[in-house]
Amino acid sequence: MTVRRAAVFLVAAALHIPLVIGAPKVEADPHELYDRAREFLADGELRAAATSLTRLKTLIAERPDWDPEGVFANELLPPLSDRLVRLQGAARRLDEFTVRSLEDLQPPDIKKDISTVRDYTEWATSVIERLRGERQEIIVSSLSNPEEQAFLTHTESYVRTERLLEIEVLKKMADTAGDDILGLLGGDPELESVLVRFRQLKRELMKNVADRDQLESDVKASRAQSDAVLRILAAVVTDDAPLEAGGRKSATVAALFPLFLDGRLTEMRGRTSLTPAEVEMLRADLDRYARYNRVLKGAGIGPDQGPRIEALAKAVNDLPVEAGVLHTFSAGGPACLLLIVALTLATGLTTWLAIARGRRLASLHHSAPGRVPRIAAEVHGTDADRRAV
Amino acid sequence: MNGRRFVTQPVLALLIAAATLSCATPPAVQPTLMLEQHSLRIPLTLEADGTVLLAERPPLIGRLDLSPILRAEGVNPGVPPNGKVQLMMHYGRLYVVGDSFHALWEITPQPGSTTASFRPIPVVRESGPGAMKDVRLSRYGSSQSSCLRLDWAGGKPVFITPKGDIRDDCP
């Protein structure tokens, strides 16, 4: 019986383990899925937006209780779905445009049309201008809403067209036409200088492309490093306190520092008094926060948090300080304690001397009860000395 | 003679009652029309003085002073834990909740004025660490009688009926 009970207990405990380890997050509701879909659309992440919309549709179809009046199903979802469809259509057309343009991108026949490198440059320029115009035409004809046009520029499809216009056209020219023109100009002494110049231009072009790729890579690395530094900085200025801030984007020091100060202020306002040691420590903290604020503000990393720090200083100053004797003396340090010991010893010694002297006087008084006070006896002694002289 | 009198008195009383009823003006019946008044969840930022600006989420405009509620929750109006509360309109009343709250607060506007009455609907009975976290308001139920649903991390959802009662399910 005991074994069975223990087994039941173990099973029950095992079943409750997940609940104890961490409270489950609240299941996404239609509003959250709707907000996510909108954010993804604005960021040009069409696949993620489609996923969120599908989840939203499934949720309200399977559990209509989440959408009592059909607000999402009838009013909010259709326009968002339409917008997604329009953006997907435009993105598809841009992709087709990119593929078609790359296929059609044939440098002109050198033997017939091209005689100098300048002609090549003009060809490339005209091709890029033409392709830009075609792309703009596709965007405008697919999307009439300027906001949606802006969303489209964040999509992968648009980025591919940018690469086509900025890199692929020139690369194609360099790759294919370069060899042809070398063959055409080879052995012609009059065009030798043009050939040299063209080779130079080709090298510069390839170097520019390589430099551009390297710069992009460097920018990414620099951004990652900057983010890491900011995270470290945030941990420093907030004493590594666990704070919650930001949504999908990572929280920055500019967001965390005021949160941290607010937390400290809440903590201070919750206190009823402070010990002198705490006051000293808090004042040091306040000086530190003020320095952090100056540095962050000076570097343009975050807005001025001066008012928050002043509010915190006021909260600290407004709190009564516990005035215990021990606290006061312990705050004074070892020198103060030594002084107390010396004073105590001096007081004891003085008291002992006074008592001893009192006892001696009392004993004298008892031995000569009829005499006038001792002062009179001393007068007599003086007279005797005078007579001796 | 007495028997005749006993018969006459009730008849007379009935006649007087009938005459009174026929002369009385029927009470004015106010005509009604259908009005669905709800909102989606509205996240709002608390100002330092404990107010929230409804204009933060157009098309609503106006201002709502939550400082009495924050005081009752033990939250300092100047320094809220995360500076956010959630507001939702449900059958003409406003409901407010935020992280570290112990109750959902019902705010009933007083038409024709800039004031509103309010009352707590206790959700978490313990104080201190028992306060709610990751709170979320949603609408839930059928179209005839939908509820306000309150979820929070680690707690079972509760439902507020159209009449403002709290339940474990939506009827």
Whether pLDDT at A112 is above 80: no
Q: Is residue A91 helix, strand or coil? A: helix
Q: Report yes or no: A142 and A86 within 8 Å, Cβ to Cβ.
A: yes
The answer to whether B153 contacts A30, with C-beta atoms less than 8 Å apart, is no
CA distance A57 to A53: 6
Backbone angles phi, psi at A122, to 5 degrees: -65, -40
> Is the Cα dihedral A310, A313, A317, A320 positive or negative?
positive
Residues of chain B in contact with residue A32, where contact means CB-CB under 8 angstroms, are 136
pLDDT at residue A51 greater than cutoff 90: yes
Nearest to B154 among A23, A244, A262 (CB): A23
Query: Can you give the pLDDT of all 171 residues of chain B as single tens digits?
Result: 445 555 556 655 665 655 555 555 555 788 989 888 889 999 999 888 889 999 888 888 899 999 999 999 888 766 555 588 999 999 999 999 998 899 999 999 999 999 999 999 998 865 555 788 889 999 999 887 899 999 998 888 999 998 889 999 998
Say how far apart CA B106 and CA B108 lie, in whole Å: 6
Residues A44-71, mean pLDDT to the nearest whole number:
93
* Structure confidence by residue, pLDDT tens digits, A361-380: 777 655 544 443 333 333 33
Which residues 6+ apart lie within 8 Å of B25 measured at CB? none
Examine the pLDDT at A49 and tell me if it is beyond 80: yes
pLDDT: is A238 or A90 the higher one? A90
Give pLDDT, residue B59: 83
Is the pLDDT at A3 greater than 50, yes or no?
A: no
Question: Looking at the complex, does the CB of residue B41 fall below 8 Å from at least one CB of chain A?
Answer: yes
- Report the pLDDT value the prediction gives residue A329, as an integer from 0 to 100: 52
The residue assigned the tokens 């953006």 is: A87
Structure confidence at residue A195 (pLDDT) = 66
**Statement: residue A186 has pLDDT above 90:** no
Residue A317 has pLDDT above 60, yes or no: yes
Please, which pLDDT band fits residue A93 given cuts at 50, 70 and 90?
Answer: very high
Considering chain A, what is the average pLDDT of its residues? 76
Q: Where along chain A do its domains lie?
A: 26-185, 253-328, 334-388
**Residue B22: its pLDDT value, please?**
53
Instruction: Tell me if A65 and B136 make a contact (CB, 8 A cut-off).
Output: no
Using CA coordinates, name the residue in chain B closest to A246: B82
Query: Where do the DSSP E strands lie in B31-154?
Result: 42-45, 51-53, 63-65, 84-90, 93-97, 103-109, 116-122, 136-141, 146-151
Torsion-angle region of residue A174: left (phi > 0), alpha (psi -120 to 50) or beta?
Answer: alpha
Give the best residue of B41, B49, B57, B79 to mutate against chain A (max A CB count within 10 A). B79
Q: What is the length of chain A?
A: 389
ipTM above 0.85, yes or no: no
The pLDDT value recorded for residue B13 is: 62
Q: Tokens for A24?
A: 């489950």
Nearest to B69 by CA among B54, B82, B56, B52: B52
Choose between A146 and A192: higher pLDDT: A146
Residue A11: pLDDT over 50: no
Q: B79–A262: do the CB atoms touch at under 8 Å?
A: yes
Residues in chain B: 171
3 state SS of A186: coil
Whose tokens are 């380890």? That residue is A21
Over 50: is that where the pLDDT of A383 sits? no
pTM to 2 decimal places = 0.54
Q: Are A195 and A185 in contact (CB under 8 A)?
A: yes
pLDDT, residue A17, reads 37
- The rounded distance, in Å, linking the Cα atoms of A277 and A324 is 12
DSSP states along B55-74: GGSTT---EEE-HHHHHHHT
Q: Which amino acid is at A6?
A: A
Å between A81 CA and nearest CA of chain B: 19
Question: Which pLDDT score is estimated for A381?
Answer: 37
- Put simply, the chain B residues between 80 and 139 with a CB less than 8 A from any chain A CB are 80-83, 134, 136, 138-139
**Distance (Å, rounded) from C-alpha B40 to C-alpha B52?**
17
**Token pair for A350:** 């003085």
Q: Distance between CA A143 and CA A14 in Å, rounded?
A: 56
Amino acid at A308: R
